[in-house]
Structure 1
Amino acid sequence: MPRFKVLITDYAWPDVTIERNTLAEIDAELVVAPKGDAETLAGLAADCDAIMTNWAKVPQAVIEACKNCKIVSRLGIGLDNIDVAYCKSQNIPVTNVPDYCLIEVAEHALAQLLSLSRKVAFYHHETKNGRYVLQSGPKLRRIEGQTLGIVGLGNIGRKLAEKALGLKMKIIAYSRSRKDPMPGVEFVEIDELLQRSDYVSLHTPLTKDNKYWLNADKFKLFKPSAYLINTARGALIDGQALQNALNAGQLAGAALDVQEVEPPDLSQAPYNDPRVVVTPHAAFVSEESLQNLRSRVAKQVATRLTGGVPENIVNGVTVG
């Protein structure tokens, strides 16, 4: 019999060797969930001591079923898939890895910006369909001197700003706190940011207060030549409002790495619109970032199960 059991609800990489080997050091068995709903996860969690989760929903019912739960650890940054408040009420620490893929997400957002500005994805699609026409699609513009508006100047937003400043772009940002001013970055209010930006890149967590905040009214503020980039959370954007805005010529295009439902129905708008570049929630991925993420989360769990204090407790629970 193993000393501990740890449930992993889902993962976005080929295997769980890193997690299994790290937990084996403390005689913990890794229970790998098949793809399923909360009821399935609750059944698997019943005799486990900890939960690790990537994207799967971990609501109160799953945590409640895990009677001996010592920790819920997110294989990622955002926490909107975990009932953090319930965990706190039960004195269960919730952890994440807030700094594991900062460079990767910033690089992906910049790659999306470059693809939109130089029509790389558009031209690729056209040529693969037999249309080799330079003049097709929106006009090309020089990136240098254009304005990038960053919504959320946290760790990832700052990394993106650093890279875009290297391209000699003008950077404006919206931040509720406005703490830690950054050289070369001008703080503005959100409506001004949408009105002035040639590119708008989202880098803010999803909360109950900002779901669909980028709606029909906000899209009316965009320049008709502007582009939207989202590597944060899909539900920050009202998808139907985005498509309506594209159809109305209120913005020129978008690049979406995150969707409210994943995978989305790619036959439906806005995913089937040639002005929209879609990637499959890939921004966080690199060999380096995944190694860092997986080993650190497994160590968080191992530390907690053996009586220690894990890094990055996010819900204010005191342990030890």
Structure 2
Amino acid sequence: MKVVITDLDMVSIENEKKVFDAAGVPYELKQLHTEEALIEGCKDADILAVQYAKITEKVMDALPNIKFIVRYGVGVDSIDVPAATKHGIQVGNVPDYGMNEVADHAVSLSLALLRKVDMLNRRTKTEVWDYSACIPIRRFSTMTVGVVGLGRIGRNFAAKMSALGFKVVGYDPYYKETPETSFIEAVSFDEVVERADVISLHCPADGNEGLMNRDVFKRMKKTAFLINVARGAIVNDKDLDEALKSGEIAGAGLDTVSIEPAPPDYFLFKNDNLLVTPHMAWYSEEAGAELQRKVAEEAVRFAKGEPIHYPINKLDK
């Protein structure tokens, strides 16, 4: 079986090369970003390794040899999974490569907002040496963090915020408490919204589009902050813009927005109470290397007829 890496923004594919060469699996890196380019460039592929390219049903219809699609990352919203299942195509991902990095980034955004680091940095360097503009700032142990989505990353984030002294409440319809997560108080989504001083999103976009909208922002504390290191579609950006401008919430820290890549003049970015990073919460040198290696290992397992580690869909045998 041949693997085609449809698109990749990494510096090199040395990590994949080591895995593929050791297994004797042929591979090729291309940069294909449209349906037409994917159809033309993947005719000889059996397995697709995908970073950002959208694998639609049209692409699958035109490429009947494709048997496995593995995504560089956690989310698979760029792949039409129901269509893949219908076509008998296995879909996989790598859910655990950047777990610590994403949680750490959510912690970093939270603390920067709560301690008003960005505002004080700008004011101190350009206006005056005076902390009075940041008043009030509260002690972490008096505050509550709300976690929406208690999977690997959500639990990781929750543990780190708990270690810093925050009370943690969380919502996830599939969550089951373990001895290691007994510090999390499982509550309803509405309770998270109303009680939390920081709400951090760690749920999938599928089924949660527009979850954070005008109605939710109105029910949040005016002093509360929103953190999103998950998927842009979970937040209604226009409603968030209104909430930030009106003071309905105190601020937000985003690693992802509805349109990516977002231009520098994106309307949300005009808000001084917004911190934003370019969808890089997953990144560290170590996480990048782990991701590349695990994608290649999944492709090799499939090519050799072995069970893959991270299946997304179930196929009829």
Does structure 2 conserve the Cα–Cα contact (< 8 Å) formed by 1:152 and 1:202? yes
Distance of 2:32 and 2:114 partners within structure 1: 38
The equivalent position to 1:47 in structure 2, one of 36, 44, 51, is: 44
Note the C-alpha offset of 1:246: 1.2
| Map of 2:275 onto structure 1 | 277
Note the C-alpha offset of 1:262: 1.6
1:147-186 aligned within 5 A: 147-181=144-178, 182-186=181-185
Change (3 A) 1:220 1:44: same
Aligned residue identity for 1:150: V
**Range moving further from structure 2, 86-95 or 235-244:** 86-95
Per-residue displacement from partner, 1:83-124 (whole Å, max 9, x unpaired)? 111111122211111222111111111111110011112223
Note the C-alpha offset of 1:145: 2.2
Task: Determine whether 1:33 maps to 2:30.
Answer: yes
Per-residue displacement from partner, 1:35-63 (whole Å, max 9, x unpaired)? 53222122111111110112221111223
Distance of 1:129 and 1:65 partners within structure 2: 57
Does structure 2 conserve the Cα–Cα contact (< 8 Å) formed by 1:43 and 1:65? no
Aligned residue identity for 2:143: Q
| Map of 1:197 onto structure 2 | 196
Per-residue displacement from partner, 1:144-200 (whole Å, max 9, x unpaired)? 220000001111111111111111111111111232352121111111211111000
Change (3 A) 1:309 1:267: same
Does structure 1 conserve the Cα–Cα contact (< 8 Å) formed by 2:145 and 2:168? yes
Q: How many residues align?
A: 315
Distance of 1:10 and 1:132 partners within structure 2: 48
Per-residue displacement from partner, 1:253-281 (whole Å, max 9, x unpaired)? 00001122221122122123111000111
| Map of 2:236 onto structure 1 | 238
Aligned residue identity for 1:312: Y
Q: Percent identity over the alignment?
A: 34
Unaligned runs of 5+ in 2: none
What secondary structure does 1:270 align onto?
A: helix
What secondary structure does 1:85 align onto?
A: helix
Does structure 1 conserve the Cα–Cα contact (< 8 Å) formed by 2:70 and 2:92? yes
| Map of 1:74 onto structure 2 | 71
Distance of 2:123 and 2:43 partners within structure 1: 52
Identify the structure with the greater helix proportion. Answer: 2
Change (3 A) 1:266 1:127: farther
**Range moving further from structure 2, 236-245 or 179-188:** 179-188
TM-score (norm 1): 0.92
Does structure 1 conserve the Cα–Cα contact (< 8 Å) formed by 2:8 and 2:31? no
What secondary structure does 2:306 align onto?
A: coil
* Structure 1 residue ranges (4+ consecutive) displaced by more than 6 angstroms after TM superposition: none
Does structure 2 conserve the Cα–Cα contact (< 8 Å) formed by 1:20 and 1:29? no
| Map of 2:260 onto structure 1 | 262
Does structure 2 conserve the Cα–Cα contact (< 8 Å) formed by 1:206 and 1:233? yes
Per-residue displacement from partner, 1:226-270 (whole Å, max 9, x unpaired)? 000001101100001001011221100000011222211221221
What secondary structure does 1:144 align onto?
A: helix
Unaligned runs of 5+ in 1: none
Distance of 1:125 and 1:16 partners within structure 2: 39
| Map of 1:296 onto structure 2 | 294
TM-score (norm 2): 0.93
Does structure 2 conserve the Cα–Cα contact (< 8 Å) formed by 1:45 and 1:62? no
What secondary structure does 2:77 align onto?
A: coil
**Range moving further from structure 2, 144-153 or 120-129:** 120-129
